[in-house]
Amino acid sequence: MSIEVNNITKIYGEQKALDNVSFEIGSGEIVGFLGPNGAGKSTMMKILTCFIPQSEGTAKVCGYDVSVDTILARQNVGYLPEHNPLYIDMYVKEYLQFIAGLHQLRNKKRLVADMIDKVGLGVEQNKVIGTLSKGYRQRVGLAQAMIHNPKVLILDEPTTGLDPNQIIEIRNLIKDIGKEKTVMMSTHIMQEVEAICDRVIIINNGKIAADDTALNIKSKQKQISIITVEFSENVEVSEIKKLKGVNKVESLGDNKYHIFSDSDSDVRPLLFNFAVGKSVEVLTLQKEEETMEQIFKDFTSK
């Protein structure tokens, strides 16, 4: 196992940030750690990277206990903290060589050159960090997290604050890195999880709300279709409700209705027949499936 978390609790003063959390992450997995603000994501990541101690429970990285074998655990984990703190007055190469020095690595120049190549910093490698775009700063952050070649990477909201192009570039980079390393990344962007992660752990109020593949989480939830239909005239809600597969109908005014059904029964043909039977016309009809975003809300609002 790359990461083993057993009954971890973290209390800050009177605040319980993590409450008896347990999970495991196998070698080579890319796991999305999801939760609303204040759920406990950063706290869990700081414990796994030996930045803060837990109050109770045990956590291991590559078999090393983070509170006992701290140095060995740190050697096996790379960490990109939230907000990516960097020395902005330093040059890219100078900073990465400094980080390599902190890890007491040999062949610093070669390692830095390899990292620059790996994270795609080539064109920006001779610049001062403060002059780089956010996307390139994030690449510097990823390079510092990987310079000691750890088996596990922990990335705290790695795409927050980036523009849409930079988000795609950094996601692709993480996907690529994930071919060689175990990755645990926090995010609150659902599409990110669907795009990158094999598995999702949802955390809410310091407790695990769900732990499964993104696909299973989707299929476990009762999928709901929502159809928005506009008729040429007003029709009775109770009449629409009688159609097979329809669970709920809401009138939106102006002859528009929201029609809720299970996603395995498509009620659209029935709605057209219904309109013909009532001698009204269907002016617009739009179908939406429940998204991962809604599923996440379902899990975290329980």
38 interacts with ligand ADP by CB under 6 A: yes
48 interacts with ligand ADP by CB under 6 A: no
Question: Nearest distance from residue 97's CB to ligand ADP, in Å?
Answer: 31
35 interacts with ligand ADP by CB under 6 A: yes
Question: Which residues face 294 on adjacent strands?
Answer: none
Among 3, 21, 23, 43, binds ligand ADP (CB under 6 A): 43
Question: Nearest distance from residue 117's CB to ligand ADP, in Å?
Answer: 32
CA–CA separation, 214 and 206 (whole Å): 20
Can you list the alpha helix ranges (DSSP code H) found in the chain?
A: 41-48, 70-75, 92-102, 108-118, 134-146, 164-177, 190-196, 214-220, 237-241, 268-277, 292-300
Cβ–Cβ under 8 Å, residues 42 and 29: no
CA–CA separation, 97 and 116 (whole Å): 11
Among 8, 34, 42, 136, binds ligand ADP (CB under 6 A): 42
Instruction: Name which of 12 and 131 has its Cβ closer to ligand ADP.
Output: 12
66 interacts with ligand ADP by CB under 6 A: no
Burial class (CB in 10 A: 0-12, 13-18, 19+), 9: middle
Pick the stretch among 41-49, 139-147, 158-166, 222-230 that binds ligand ADP (CB under 6 A): 41-49
Instruction: Name which of 37 and 286 has its Cβ closer to ligand ADP.
Output: 37
37 interacts with ligand ADP by CB under 6 A: yes
Q: Encoding tokens for residue 14?
A: 């009177």
41 interacts with ligand ADP by CB under 6 A: yes
Strands 182-187 and 152-156: parallel
Question: Nearest distance from residue 64's CB to ligand ADP, in Å?
Answer: 22
188 interacts with ligand ADP by CB under 6 A: no
SS3 276: helix
Question: Nearest distance from residue 7's CB to ligand ADP, in Å?
Answer: 17
Instruction: Name which of 11 and 195 has its Cβ closer to ligand ADP.
Output: 11
54 interacts with ligand ADP by CB under 6 A: no
Instruction: Give, as one character, the DSSP assignment of residue 123.
Output: G
Q: How many chain residues interact with ligand ADP (CB under 6 A)?
A: 12
Instruction: Name which of 189 and 227 has its Cβ closer to ligand ADP.
Output: 189
Instruction: Name which of 35 and 178 has its Cβ closer to ligand ADP.
Output: 35
Q: Which H, E and C letters describe 184-222, residue by residue? A: EEEECCHHHHHHHCCEEEEEECCEEEEEEEHHHHHHHCC
Among 3, 5, 8, 17, binds ligand ADP (CB under 6 A): 17
Cβ–Cβ under 8 Å, residues 151 and 27: yes
Chain positions contacting ligand ADP, by CB under 6 A: 12-13, 15, 17, 35, 37-43
